[in-house]
Structure 1
Amino acid sequence: MSGIKQVRNKRLLPDLRKEGELSKNIVLSTKEKHGVPVGSRLFSHHTLASVRRLSFYHPFFSQDDNLDLILAATYNHSTEKFADKEDLYLQPETHGCDTWRRLRNTYDKRPPVMVPLGHPMKRGGIKERRSPFSVKLMNSGVHSSQTNPGYSRQPAGGAIFFY
């Protein structure tokens, strides 16, 4: 979440893609905010509350009653002593946590992706450098080999081959 800024939404419709979906499109009498008649501008401009009240708006998560609201709250009765009455109803987005619900008509602006070297070229090459001392050779030493030098017993056939 670091670096994400919430910027004011200046468009006519709020961004509620995380909250729900519209079963049909909203009819707008204009696409502009300035230079149009007042009635046309007021009819086309929607707030968060007005879009949520539309009959064809269907939220993904809906609270059925007061108990659902209290269960979603951040209040914990075992850790908080002498809490106020309103603490029962404080939701995570009130404290600044990122949730599915929007409190203001904003949208998230992500920072540009930083390119490590200043250009899109990718680094490649060797991922792992193996030590030459860790490679098991055919005859690595007199104490480790079980056969005469230069001879090896194959595990598949058991015959002795000279390499």
Structure 2
Amino acid sequence: MSGVKQVRNKGLLPDLRKEGTLSKDIVLTTKEKHGCHWGDRLFCHHTLASIRRLSFFHPFSIPEESLDIVLAATYNHSTEFMADKVDLYLQPETHGCETWRRIRNTCDKPPPTVIPLGHPMKRGGITERKSPFSVKLMNSGVHSSQTNPGYSRQAAGGAIFFY
């Protein structure tokens, strides 16, 4: 599952964004699970089954007949020998594979991002670093000398001499 950890959902509503959409919002009398009247908590706390049974929950795909369930199973008749009758109906989410269905009321917790240098500072915006020695501080013509004043280059050897 690529490092995604599933943790228990402590909220009042299960996360069913992969399964379907709600055509209207669910009215909650309280925003927290604890510290309210038991009747309000019982009314507001939804399970996976109760959300799926709501009239305004529209699932993306539902199996229409038993053949759809068998075709979605993980059983492969060419590789398994003497399989049980139950193997025909075992779905991928039963084995721990990630699918569009959710079996338990859990939330996906992504793995923590790795910070390469150990701190969150990012260096950006600089595409090229110019050397401070190649910067010219005055407008110079084409025929000006490239050496410091008082120094000159000998034509023969290229060494720098002070005159």
- SS in structure 1 opposite 2:43? helix
Identity of aligned residues (%): 71
**CA RMSD across the alignment:** 1.7
Aligned counterparts of 1:105 and 1:51: Cα–Cα separation in 2: 11
Provide the residue aligned with 1:98 in structure 2: 98
Gaps of 5+ in 1: 127-163
1:57 aligns with 2:79: no
Deviation at 1:122, TM superposition (A): 4.1
TM-score by length of 2: 0.72
Aligned counterparts of 2:102 and 2:16: Cα–Cα separation in 1: 8
Aligned counterparts of 1:122 and 1:101: Cα–Cα separation in 2: 41
- Alignment-mate amino acid for residue 28 of structure 2: L
- Alignment-mate amino acid for residue 121 of structure 1: K
Deviation by residue 1:45-101 (Cα, 9 ceiling, x = unmatched): 000000001010011121111110100000011111110011000000000001111
Provide the residue aligned with 2:33 in structure 1: 33
TM-score by length of 1: 0.72
Provide the residue aligned with 2:122 in structure 1: 121
Q: How does 1:14-163 map to 2 (within 5 A)?
A: 14-119=14-119, 120-122=121-123
Gaps of 5+ in 2: 129-163
Aligned counterparts of 1:69 and 1:122: Cα–Cα separation in 2: 52
- Alignment-mate amino acid for residue 113 of structure 1: T
- SS in structure 1 opposite 2:58? strand
Provide the residue aligned with 2:156 in structure 1: none
Provide the residue aligned with 1:5 in structure 2: 5
- Alignment-mate amino acid for residue 105 of structure 1: N
